[in-house]
């Protein structure tokens, strides 16, 4: 799902996006001219690879996301939240979820078998 930046107002808008095995549910609201606040929960499951034996397995996902979505390149510096930039004037939620998925994939995962093997 995509939402145009110019259509996001100062009243909170509820969003629910389902993509593969994950659901993003929360609110977006305009922050300033270029920024939109996203406050949402990402829940579901995803497949990851074991770092030790490379076996694929499924993990549960439950993440609270606080992000600033920027309409184009963001030049300021924000301390309180990560900024995600979009370049075509709209928020692409599938893309956002894919990048969250990618960063979770890069975390250190061990399958149950390897976890129980004490070395
Ligand atoms: Zn393993």
Do strands 22-30 and 35-49 pair parallel, antiparallel, or not at all (unpaired)?
A: antiparallel
Mean pLDDT confidence for 39-64: 97
Q: What is the mean pLDDT of the chain?
A: 94
53 Cα–ligand 1 center, Å? 4
Taking a 5 Å cut-off on Cβ, the residues next to ion ligand 1 are 50, 52-53, 55, 111, 114
12 Cα–ligand 1 center, Å? 43
**What does the buried/exposed string (b/e) look like for 86-103 if buried means 16 or more CB atoms within 10 Å of the residue's CB?**
beeebbbbeebbeebbee
60 Cα–ligand 1 center, Å? 17
108 Cα–ligand 1 center, Å? 11
CA distances from 49 to 6, 15, 26, 102 (A): 39, 30, 28, 12
- pLDDT tens digits, one per residue of 68-85: 999 999 988 777 788 999
107 Cα–ligand 1 center, Å? 14
**119 has a pLDDT exceeding 70:** no
Instruction: Name the DSSP class of 101.
Output: H
């Amino acid at each position: 799902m995509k939402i145009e930046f110019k259509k996001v107002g100062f009243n909170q808008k509820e969003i629910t996006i389902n993509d593969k095995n994950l659901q993003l549910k929360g609110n977006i609201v305009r922050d300033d001219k270029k920024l939109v606040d996203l406050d949402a929960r990402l829940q579901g499951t995803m497949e990851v690879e074991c770092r030790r034996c490379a076996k694929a397995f499924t993990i549960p996902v439950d993440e609270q996301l606080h992000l600033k979505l920027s309409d184009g390149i963001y030049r300021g510096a924000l301390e309180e939240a990560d900024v995600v930039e979009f370049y075509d004037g709209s928020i692409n939620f599938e893309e956002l979820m894919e990048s969250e998925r990618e960063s979770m994939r890069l975390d250190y995962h061990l399958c149950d078998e390897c976890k129980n093997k004490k070395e």
